[in-house]
């Protein structure tokens, strides 16, 4: 069903403004704006696509959708530019409770900032949507920024080379980007992110997180749930994760500070450091497994460490400054008890060195990046 039919009675009339600015060497620019109100009472989801510009989503306590769109066309030939801007509109179609919003030019889909229908002119579209916070949303951009805040429904976002900034989300978050930067903060539920070469920054996440990256830096701070990370290249920084942490890293430094749950970390190369590893907040025994093939492992334990301990290396050196009740001592393997030995702590390297120390309040440090 298209909103160009009888359903368009739910819209306010579009408000538009069009003007052209002549530039040097025959360059021209035309701009136009429109605003609409759409009914949201029967909607189950909103889908927003913008391959030629930015998207801003704002969740509010309301029953309708307030849509504002800015169009800009630039290129040679004033008539071409003005005509191109006049033929742009945001198509709204609804099917089975799903509202889809996407820009079109001369009734043709737009696939990027230089659509063939604009004869070489460049297009930029900025979409701003205020919507009921309860609605689930799926949104995608190609090269520009995607921003969302205040949403309570589940959110799915995608970007090819644009940046994504998300905050104050009450639903689940699923994100994918090819390159660019994703920053999300104050998300109440689970998060899943997949990137090709983009960076990830997550802060204050209330659920679990599952992160997969081929290349790019990852930083996670104050995660309440479990964390799974798979990365090929790029540094990883984890600060105060409360749940179980499982990391698989091919290349890049891995730094973990103040972990609250079990740890399982496998690295192929790059330094691995864990700082302020203390008793679990719930008092349960903790299982820790740290493995690095060609990189070093550095571990700083807090007082109260309680583990059955084992360190193994093929070609690396070991430096252990811990109150260990030694049960086995050799060039390649050291084993024993820390405290009563209720948890499990095992560190393994192939060629990397192993350095483990027990911190005091005066000597506690944190990994730097």
Tell me the pTM: 0.87
Q: Are residues 162 and 139 in the same domain?
A: no
Q: Does a structural domain hold residue 245?
A: no
Please give the mean pLDDT across all residues of the chain.
89
Looking at residue 78, its pLDDT comes to 77
Q: Are residues 272 and 358 in the same domain?
A: yes
Distance (Å, rounded) from C-alpha 290 to C-alpha 273? 9
Q: Does a structural domain hold residue 244?
A: no
Per-residue pLDDT tens digits for 205-250: 999 999 999 999 999 999 999 999 999 999 999 999 999 999 999 9
Range of the domain at 166: 146-230
Q: What is the mean pLDDT of residues 262-275?
A: 97
Q: Are residues 192 and 209 in the same domain?
A: yes
Q: Does a structural domain hold residue 246?
A: no
Q: Are residues 152 and 139 in the same domain?
A: no
Residue 50: pLDDT above 60?
yes
Neighbours of 346 (CB within 10 A): 16
Per-residue pLDDT tens digits for 293-307: 999 999 999 999 999
Dihedral sign, Cα of residue 29, residue 67, residue 168, residue 178 = negative
Number of separate domains in the chain? 3
Instruction: Show the tokens assigned to 223.
Output: 């995660």
Q: Are residues 2 and 140 in the same domain?
A: yes
3-class secondary structure, 340: coil
State the DSSP code for 245: E
Beta-strand pair 146-149/98-105: unpaired
In the chain, % of residues over pLDDT 70 = 90
**Position with higher pLDDT, 146 vs 27:** 146
The dihedral formed by the CA atoms of 319, 325, 326 and 327, expressed in degrees to the nearest 10: -140
Q: Does a structural domain hold residue 238?
A: no
Q: What is the mean pLDDT of residues 148-175?
A: 97
Q: Are residues 107 and 201 in the same domain?
A: no
**Which of 119, 144, 169 is the last residue in one of the domains?**
144
Choose among 256, 222, 207, 263: nearest CA to 236: 256
Residue 369: pLDDT above 70?
no
Looking at residue 321, its pLDDT comes to 96
Q: Does a structural domain hold residue 247?
A: no
Q: Are residues 189 and 127 in the same domain?
A: no
Q: What is the mean pLDDT of residues 157-161?
A: 95
Q: What is the mean pLDDT of residues 316-325?
A: 96
Looking at residue 143, its pLDDT comes to 86
Sorting pLDDT into bands at 50, 70 and 90, what band is 4?
Answer: very low
**Which of 230, 264, 279 is the last residue in one of the domains?**
230
Distance (Å, rounded) from C-alpha 5 to C-alpha 9? 8
306 close to 342: Cβ distance less than 8 angstroms? yes
Per-residue pLDDT tens digits for 336-366: 999 999 999 999 999 999 999 998 754 554 4
Instruction: Show the tokens assigned to 322.
Output: 């811990």
Looking at residue 28, its pLDDT comes to 86
Q: Does a structural domain hold residue 237?
A: no
Q: Are residues 268 and 369 in the same domain?
A: yes
Q: Are residues 199 and 260 in the same domain?
A: no
Q: What is the 3-state secondary structure (H, E, C) of 295-353?
A: CCEEEEECCCCCEEEEEEECCCCEEEECCCEEEEECCCEEEEEECCCCEEEEEEECCCC
Sorting pLDDT into bands at 50, 70 and 90, what band is 283?
Answer: confident
180 close to 197: Cβ distance less than 8 angstroms? no
Q: Does a structural domain hold residue 248?
A: no
Q: Are residues 61 and 27 in the same domain?
A: yes
Looking at residue 235, its pLDDT comes to 96
In the chain, % of residues over pLDDT 90 = 75
Q: What is the mean pLDDT of residues 11-37?
A: 61
Q: Are residues 108 and 158 in the same domain?
A: no
Sorting pLDDT into bands at 50, 70 and 90, what band is 21?
Answer: very low
Looking at residue 12, its pLDDT comes to 37
Q: Does a structural domain hold residue 239?
A: no
Residue 82 φ/ψ, nearest 5 degrees:
-65, -45
Sorting pLDDT into bands at 50, 70 and 90, what band is 26?
Answer: low
Q: Are residues 138 and 15 in the same domain?
A: yes
Distance (Å, rounded) from C-alpha 289 to C-alpha 260? 14
Q: Among 122-126, 219-223, 252-256, which stretch is predicted with the lowest mean pLDDT?
A: 122-126
Looking at residue 253, its pLDDT comes to 96
Per-residue pLDDT tens digits for 77-99: 777 788 878 888 999 999 999 99
Distance (Å, rounded) from C-alpha 190 to C-alpha 259? 19
């Amino acid at each position: 069903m298209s909103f160009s039919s009888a359903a368009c009675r739910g819209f306010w009339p579009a408000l538009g403004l069009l003007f052209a600015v002549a530039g040097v060497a025959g360059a021209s620019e035309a701009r136009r704006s429109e605003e609409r109100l759409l009914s949201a009472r029967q909607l189950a989801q909103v889908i927003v696509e913008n391959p030629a510009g930015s998207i801003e989503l704002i969740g509010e306590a309301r029953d309708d959708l307030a849509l504002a769109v800015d169009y800009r066309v630039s290129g040679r030939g004033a008539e071409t530019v003005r005509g191109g801007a006049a033929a742009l509109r945001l198509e709204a179609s609804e099917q089975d409770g799903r509202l889809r919003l996407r820009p079109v030019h001369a009734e043709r889909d737009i696939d990027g900032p230089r659509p063939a229908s604009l004869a070489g002119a460049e297009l930029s579209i900025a979409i701003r949507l205020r919507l009921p916070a309860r609605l689930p949303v799926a949104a995608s951009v190609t090269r520009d920024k995607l921003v969302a805040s205040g949403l309570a429904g589940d959110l799915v976002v995608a970007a090819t080379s644009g940046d994504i900034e998300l905050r104050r989300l009450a639903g689940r978050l699923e994100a994918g980007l090819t390159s660019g930067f994703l920053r999300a903060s104050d998300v109440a539920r689970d998060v899943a992110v997949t990137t090709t070469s983009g960076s990830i920054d997550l802060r204050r996440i209330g659920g679990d997180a599952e992160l997969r990256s081929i290349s790019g830096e990852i930083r996670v701070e104050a995660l309440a749930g479990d964390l799974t990370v798979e990365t090929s290249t790029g540094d990883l920084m984890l600060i105060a994760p409360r749940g179980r942490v499982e990391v698989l890293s091919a290349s890049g430094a891995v730094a973990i500070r103040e972990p609250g749950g079990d740890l399982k970390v496998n690295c192929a190369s790059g330094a691995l450091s864990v700082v302020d590893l203390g008793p679990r907040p719930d008092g349960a025994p903790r299982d820790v497994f740290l493995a690095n093939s060609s990189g070093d492992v550095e571990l700083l334990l807090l007082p109260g460490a309680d583990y059955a301990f084992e360190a193994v290396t093929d070609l690396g050196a070991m430096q252990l400054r811990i109150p260990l009740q030694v049960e086995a001592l050799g060039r390649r393997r050291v084993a024993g008890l820390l405290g009563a030995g209720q948890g499990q702590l095992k560190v393994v390297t192939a060629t990397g060195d192993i350095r483990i120390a027990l911190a005091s309040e005066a000597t506690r440090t944190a990994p730097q990046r």
